[in-house]
Structure 1
Amino acid sequence: MASLEYLGMLPFLLLVALAGIQLGLAAYCAEQAGTAARTAARTASEPSPHGDPAQAGRNAVSGWVDPRISFPGAADANAVTATATVDVPSVIPGLSIFGPVHRSATMPKEDTTP
């Protein structure tokens, strides 16, 4: 009898476990988007010549995350803003619960006046 009750609860327990994994994956993608945005903004704020800021942001995160990095708004003389967008993969194929996550970071430009 107990094994039948366990079999009845098994789908529910599996659903709860998958939901926990999905939430952890969404949080990880949000953290990686923040890291990519900060790195891209920091690189873009350095005095020229500097490396490609978007590539620096992509290099700062896990390879499978593949962030899209943009620099929205007009060029400010004092600061650089970078925005990273990361798609959150689903643990259940064909079911997309979360949309992409966006994180922005603003870094002041270095003062290079003597």
Structure 2
Amino acid sequence: MLEFAGFLPFLLVIGMAVIQLGLVGYGANQAGSAARAGARAESLNPGTGGTAATASASSWLHPATALTTGATVTATVTVHVPAIIPLFDGWDLHRSATMPNDRQNDGS
């Protein structure tokens, strides 16, 4: 029993680290999906990319979108993954996606 009590803090830290890595992976996936959605929406209908990107990511990640247009549309989404381990502040993850600008290519 004493050995288990001494080893329990290490097990808890390892468990929290695994959960934190899962959250970081989830945040990266959400940022990538939001960037693709934002670039696609902006290429089809200018002015809608930021809204589409924000709607595509979980709101608790606080997504922020930056759009660059030209011959292609690039959407960069930044999400903030909170830390569950008290020693850290969390991480900002950035993902970008580029799509051809359909409005510029079809002459409209």
Residue 62 of structure 1 corresponds to 58
Query: Superposition pairs for residues 30-69 of structure 1, below 5 Å?
Result: 30-46=28-44, 48=45, 50=46, 52-69=48-65
Residue 60 (structure 1) shift: 1.1
The structure that has the greater radius of gyration is 1
Residue 51 (structure 1) shift: 5.3
Gaps of 5+ in 1: none
Say yes or no: does 1:109 pair with 2:101: yes
Distance 2:52 2:87 in 1: 32
- Counterpart of 1:63, as a letter, is S
Say yes or no: does 1:80 pair with 2:44: no
Aligned Cα root-mean-square deviation (Å): 1.9
Gaps of 5+ in 2: none
Residue 89 of structure 1 corresponds to 82
Residue 86 (structure 1) shift: 0.6
Larger fraction in strand: 2
- TM-score scaled to structure 1, two decimals? 0.83
Distance 2:74 2:88 in 1: 33
Residue 53 (structure 1) shift: 1.1
Determine helix, strand or coil for the equivalent of 2:91: coil
What do residues 51-100 of structure 1 show as CA deviations (whole Å, max 9, x unaligned)? 5210111111222122100024xx32x2100100011100024522x530
- TM-score scaled to structure 2, two decimals? 0.88
- Counterpart of 1:86, as a letter, is V
Give aligned-pair identity as a percent: 45
Q: How many residues align?
A: 106
Distance 1:71 1:94 in 2: 33
